Amino acid sequence: MNEVNPAAQRGSGEGLCPTERRGVEQRHTSIKVIGANQNNLKNVDVEIPRDQLTVVTGVSGSGKSSLVFDVIYGEGQRRFLESISNFAKGRINQVKKPDVKYVRGLSPVVSIEQKKGNFNPRSTVGTVTDIADYLRLLYATVGVGECPICAHPLHQVNAPRLAEHIASLPEGTVVELRVPTQRIPGTDYKHLFETIRKKGYKRLLVDGEPFNLSEKRELDEQVTYEMEIIVETFTVKPGIHMHISKTIEAAMISLADSIMMRVEVIGRDASAGTDAAASRSATDAKILKKFYDKYTCPVHHYVLCELQAFHFSFNNDDSACNTCMGIGKSHVVEERFVIDNPDKSVYEGCFRQSVLKKPWRDSYTGVVLYSVSQQFNVSLHTPFNKLKQRERDILLYGTKGERVEFILPPDSKKERHWLVGRGWPWGGIIGDINWHYKQWLRNADKGWDPDFIKDVMIETTCPDCSGGRLKKSRLSVKVGGKNIHELSAMQLVAFCDQLKNTKFTGHNQEVAESIARELIKRVELLIDVGLYYLNLGRRSDSISGGEMQRIKMSTQISSELMGMLYIMDEPSIGLHPRDSAKVIDIMKKLRDIGNTVIVIEHDLETMKNADYLVEIGPGPGIHGGTVMASGTCAQMEANPASMTGGYLSGTREIALPATRRGTTDRFITLMGARENNLKNITVDIPLGIFVCVTGVSGSGKSTLVYETLFKQIEVLKRAARIKPGDHDLLLGYDEITHIINIDQSAIGRNSKSNPATYVGIYDQIRKLFAATDDALAKGFVLLDFSLTHANGTRCEHCTGDGTITTSLQFMADIEMTCPVCKGARFNEDGLEVRWNGKNISEVLNLTVEEARAFFADHKYISHKLGIMDDLGLGYMTLGQSSTTLSGGEAQRVKLAWELAKIKRGSHNLYILDEPTTGLHIADIEKLLISINKLVDSGHSVLVIEHNLDVIKSADYIIDLGPDGGDNGGEIVAQGTPEEVAKNKRSHTARFLKSELKK
């Protein structure tokens, strides 16, 4: 008889008394964190209930992310990765063990962080969600093509069926298979011919004439020919079906860049016993008509090959547009950048140096320019702005196809030039730049980076594919009358309606309906989380952190997993109060199917809907790291130790401003704005006050403020090489000195950049150290105290990082303190230099709050530190790596820099996009004080915001809507908060009204 293992019994709860069994069950009803000391956490013990929605809140920098992400998520992920094989570990980045005694009650954990979209320009909403894969599959299954000449509909046919159809022709019929081809832009015919040879073909038709690649023949590079590859010519006879099928299959693979094939019946084989005249008989005419009507275009004889999903992938070289390489954007020459000095002639240097480098007279361009000037009577000695329009167009855009005979300039230093005696049409200076750009695209991996791309070109929609990313042949394939780009560009609601109304027919009907159902299901999940205004073709780098987080949430819901632990970081970011309820419902759905959801959040509405709250505090940085309160919403409201509880109960709030600044006669007027979904609107933006742009997500706020207003002023003020959003006119920009965008991008890209460097106080600190007697005695200068300067005082073993990171194959990367400098980042000689009792390393380790007191006698440094402290950044250390700062922290550091350099007499326009990101309500009060300081100093502030505390504190509101996407882009309301609150059409007004009544 087998004995029962007592340990196994106890592990499962069997064989225990009722009291013991309840203890086992209790251990599995909560997540216990014991002794957490990660970052600023102070030996935290906390218990979070499982299978509930828990919100962790607290002021910025208090330790919320350290507890939730570094400890709970980090430990959960680490334990899972420890359970896999070493082979698998070697292919996955391992996680370092957090500084905690133990964590119990963990489940498989999924982190849905607030991160910006993928910065790869090929990444889209469709690719991030994998919906694009289903969409490509749908087009490959039931896509209907068009004849490239007459747009006759073509249904797909595979190699065996086409071969069988060809073999059904009368014996002796001669059939030729052809595939259209052309040069790739930026390449020559030699490159094309070499490519065709490598694919195994050598016979072509060039403008209908035979052309054999085995013969030495050249084509005029300046002429565009109609070209076809002859795949094979064969005579129909018994048993040829298999040969034809294999030939077609091979062509479909080797010539994958073309999905069209031409099938031409070119006559009868005389040796088969039928004379040539018979091929023109009425009987043959009927046979041919029936043959061509079956699969091909009856007139032009094109057939659509069998399609695969990769045929619609813009990441596939054979399918991507040849001009933009599948990105949808291309660079075009901006004429205003080509001419540097319009008051000078060509010989005097009117063109930008990167366009026409000196000396250029004996170069290719020099000979061409001289030849053009002689043949077309264009003066190269007359100032460019004095030339006639026709003469300017010839220099910039060429001869419009007219041939140029090249001659050598009389002052040439060369006796002979390879161009002399030749001739061809010239595309002009701009045409030459475009040709070089296409060459560069083809050879971008060879390290050549031409200056003119940055100097004279701007990014715009690809002129060849119009942003479709794919070859025209792919874009001619349609489902329900839409090609894949048109469907991907539709707003998600319209996308679903289109698929629901599309009727599929044919032998693949059942498969197509199954794919369509899956597509609709996944897209509807995106709509449910408030992203109805997006489209699948939207680039990921244009997606905000909040939007990306909601996209990931929809993906998790579709998985329908239970027993999981979901960690989220401020999912309400970027959401209008109208839409926040949708995200709350999503989190509740995840909870209700049996998951534990832990959310870092500052939104009061989310807290009120949570099952449990945990507040970390009481302050930021070294002043935080303690659990101040925990419990239900009602318990938090009643707890005097909870700062958040006061805001929940209404006993604490951000008060309305005592007075509002009135508008003056100073405005910036933007007329006819129509970029993206803007409906040709004209908007007046008052200056000298605090203006807030509001509206539901996707209503057009960022398009109006950043894409159009900011970029146009940058162009007008600084001649910036950017393209503003489409609009008619901008007036009043001369009323401001500069326009400054204070965004949430990083303040530096390497580990050595830090807040002290960004706000400009590190230079002053280094001056103080360089002026000490110890530094002078050792021969140190200001530069020697820089973390980026080699052979100074920094530690060369860790190059000033203070840590050494060792990458291990199947274990987590080990980051250890530098054994030489012990984390100080400077060498011994540098650390011996002291100012006011501290060395340079100790100063960089001071918090902003500590440093403010330390440099109290230094007016310049203490002034800037005071501003940072007032913005709630007192917990941040001076030398903290910029790579560790959140987007909200980076934005406040930038705001501190701008506040510190206010100049009298200047009038700047400051733009902030959702500055409340990552801010507790107590921190928002500090932010509003700083914004009002800018305005009181004579500047204008324009803020895009959803937070009602900021909106109600503004002097003036411009509300866009009424909805998002196609239903947005209009000005719904404008005026003071009180005036906007009366507007019955505005969604913002509905929520603002209740805030103003408090």
- For residue 667, the cross-strand partners are 686
**Strands 173-181 and 100-104, sheet pairing:** unpaired
In angstroms and rounded to an integer, the radius of gyration of the C-alpha atoms of the chain is 35
The Cα–Cα gap between 740 and 614 comes to 38
Rounded CA-CA distance 585/216 in Å is 71
pLDDT band at 18 (very low <50, low <70, confident <90, very high): very low
pLDDT of 189 higher than 70: yes
By the 8 A CB rule, do 268 and 175 touch?
no
Bigger pLDDT: 93 vs 973:
973
pLDDT for 282-295, tens place per residue?
A: 558 888 889 999 99
- Distance CA(825)–CA(399), nearest Å, equals 63
3-state class (DSSP) for residue 424: strand
Cα–Cα separations (whole angstroms), residue 700 to 461, 669, 733, 988: 20, 17, 21, 14
Q: For Cα atoms 275, 278, 284, give the angle at the middle one, nearest 5 degrees.
A: 145
Cα distances (Å, whole numbers) of residue 490 to 44, 284, 285, 313, 493 = 49, 48, 45, 18, 8
Please report the beta strands in 939-990, taking only residues with DSSP state E, as ranges in sequence order.
Answer: 940-944, 956-961, 970-975
Tell me: pLDDT of 478 over 90.
yes
pLDDT-derived band of residue 11, with 50, 70 and 90 as boundaries? very low
Residue 100 has pLDDT above 80, yes or no: yes
d(CA 843, CA 627): 30
Q: How confident is the model at residue 455 (pLDDT cuts 50, 70, 90)?
A: confident
- More confident position, 304 or 901: 304
Q: What percent of the chain has pLDDT over 70?
A: 91
Long-range CB pairs of 295-299 (<8 Å, 24+ gap) are 295/154, 295/155, 295/157, 295/161, 295/162, 295/165, 296/154, 296/263, 297/147, 297/149, 297/150, 297/152, 297/154, 298/152, 299/147, 299/149, 299/150, 299/152
Task: Give the pLDDT score at 8.
Answer: 38
What is the reported pLDDT for 93?
66
- Gap between the Cα atoms of 164 and 616, Å rounded: 74
Q: What is the pLDDT of residue 66?
A: 92
Q: How far is CA 247 from CA 197, 200, 244, 657, in A?
A: 16, 12, 5, 79
Give me the pLDDT at residue 895, please: 87
- Scanning the structure block, which residue is given the tokens 């073993």? 797
The DSSP symbol for 4 reads P
Dist. CA 582–CA 575, nearest whole Å: 10
Contact 146, 478 (CB under 8 A): yes
Across 796-818, average pLDDT = 76
Strand pairing of 729-731 and 739-742? unpaired
- Using one digit for the tens of pLDDT, what is the confidence trace for 695-728? 998 899 999 999 999 999 999 998 787 889 999 9
For the chain, the residue count is 998
Q: How far are the Cα atoms of 128, 193, 567, 782 from residue 515, in angstroms, in the given order?
A: 18, 40, 31, 66
pLDDT of residue 356: 81
Of residues 440 and 192, which shows the higher confidence score? 192
pLDDT tens-digit series, residues 782-796: 999 999 888 899 999
Whole-number Å distance between alpha carbons of 564 and 501: 37
d(CA 258, CA 413): 49
Instruction: Let me know the angle formed at the C-alpha of 666 by 664 and 668, rounded to the nearest 5 degrees.
Output: 135
Q: Residue 810: what pLDDT? A: 55
d(CA 550, CA 573): 10
Please tell me the predicted confidence (pLDDT) of residue 5: 41
- Tell me the DSSP string of 892-947: HHHHHHHHHT--TT---EEEEE-TTTT--HHHHHHHHHHHHHHHHTT-EEEEE---
DSSP 652-675: S-PPPPSS-PPP-S-EEEEEEE-S
pLDDT given for residue 268 in this prediction: 77
pLDDT tens digits, one per residue of 820-841: 999 999 999 999 999 999 999 9
Pick from 857, 805, 801: nearest CA to 826 = 801
Is the peptide bond between 977 and the residue preceding it cis, with omega within 30 degrees of 0?
no
Give bridge partners of residue 681 from the DSSP assignment: 673
Mean per-residue pLDDT over the chain, rounded: 87
Query: CA–CA separation, 742 vs 757, rounded Å?
Result: 17
Over 90: is that where the pLDDT of 131 sits? yes
Evaluate the CA torsion angle 9, 10, 13, 18 in order and state its sign.
positive
For residue 448, pLDDT beyond 80: no
Task: Give the H or E element holding residue 549.
Answer: helix 545-559
Judged by DSSP in three states, 837 sits in coil
Q: Which of 430, 942, 415 is nearest to 694 (CA)?
A: 942
Contacts of 863-866 spanning 24+ positions with Cβ under 8 A: 863/900, 864/759, 864/760, 864/761, 864/896, 864/897, 864/900, 865/761
Evaluate if residue 935 carries a pLDDT over 90: yes
Residue of 23 and 328 predicted with greater confidence: 328
β-strand partners of 30: 49
Average pLDDT over residues 618-638: 92
Cα–Cα distance for residue pair 634/649, rounded to 1 Å: 9
State the DSSP H helix or E strand holding residue 27, giving kind and residue range, or none if neither.
helix 18-27
| Dist CA 225 CA 203 (whole Å) | 15
114 — pLDDT class (breaks 50, 70, 90): low
Non-local (6+) Cβ contacts of 432 within 8 A are 365
705 CB-side CA count, 13 A: 29
Distance of CA 240 to the CA centre of its chain: 53
Q: Which residues contact 483 (CB under 8 A, 6 or more apart)?
A: 468, 474, 475, 476, 477
Pairing of strands 478-479, 482-483: antiparallel
CB count in 10 Å sphere of residue 440 = 17
Please say if the pLDDT value at position 370 is more than 50.
Answer: yes
Residue range 476-486: mean pLDDT, rounded: 95
Q: What does the pLDDT read at residue 13?
A: 45
Query: How distant is the alpha carbon of residue 14 from its chain centre?
Result: 54
Q: For 674, what's the count of Cα atoms within 13 Å in the CB-facing half-sphere?
A: 7
Would the pLDDT of 543 be above 90? no
Q: Which of 952, 947, 951, 943 is nearest to 998 (CA)?
A: 952
Q: Is the pLDDT of residue 410 over 60?
A: yes
Cβ(579)–Cβ(696) below 8 Å:
yes
pLDDT at 449: 58
* Both structure tokens of 563: 């027993």
pLDDT at 809 (0 to 100): 55
What does the pLDDT look like over 938-979, one tens digit per residue? 999 999 999 999 999 999 999 999 998 888 999 999 999 999
Q: How confident is the model at residue 922 (pLDDT cuts 50, 70, 90)?
A: confident
The pLDDT tens digits of the residues spanning 727-739 come to 999 999 999 999 9
The answer, yes or no, to whether residue 178 has pLDDT greater than 80, is yes
- Encode pLDDT of 631-662 as tens digits: 999 999 999 999 999 999 989 989 999 899 99
User: Has residue 340 got a pLDDT over 80?
Assistant: yes
pLDDT value for 531: 87
Please report how many Cα atoms fall inside a 13 Å half-sphere around the Cα of residue 245, on the Cβ side: 12
Contacts of 873 (CB under 8 A, 6+ apart): 61, 620, 755, 848, 889, 892, 893, 896
Distance, CA of 757 to chain centre: 28
| pLDDT given at position 555 | 77
* 190-216 core/surface letters (b: 16 or more CB in 10 A; e: else): eebbeebeebebebbbeeeeebebeee
